[in-house]
């Protein structure tokens, strides 16, 4: 998901909450808008918190003369 979808939810939610005056039977569009705004803001915050945690991962496989293999993994946090 990420920043784009979070921003989309935030904008659509604010439009529904603050600008739409239409009514739909059984649906409170203002409340739906505020819920979408909160979810969008949370998505943006969670994306920002997890982007910094990405790192690189490399896997190397070594084949020995007797036919056995050794797999080593290296992770680098950025």
pTM: 0.65
pLDDT at 58: 81
Choose between 74 and 36: higher pLDDT.
36
Choose between 21 and 11: higher pLDDT.
11
Task: Name the band, by pLDDT with cuts 50, 70 and 90, for residue 2.
Answer: confident
pLDDT at 53: 66
Q: What is the pLDDT of residues 23-42, one digit of tens each?
A: 889 999 999 999 999 999 99
Task: List, in order, residues 6 or more apart from 76 with CB less than 8 Å away.
Answer: 55, 56, 57, 58
């Amino acid at each position: 998901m990420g920043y784009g979808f979070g921003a989309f939810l935030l904008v659509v939610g604010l439009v529904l909450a603050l600008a739409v005056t239409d009514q739909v039977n059984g649906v409170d569009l203002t409340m739906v808008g505020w819920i979408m705004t909160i979810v969008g803001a949370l998505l943006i915050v969670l994306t920002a918190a997890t982007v910094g945690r990405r790192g690189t991962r490399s896997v190397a496989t070594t084949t020995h003369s007797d036919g056995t293999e050794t797999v080593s993994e290296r992770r680098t946090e950025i």
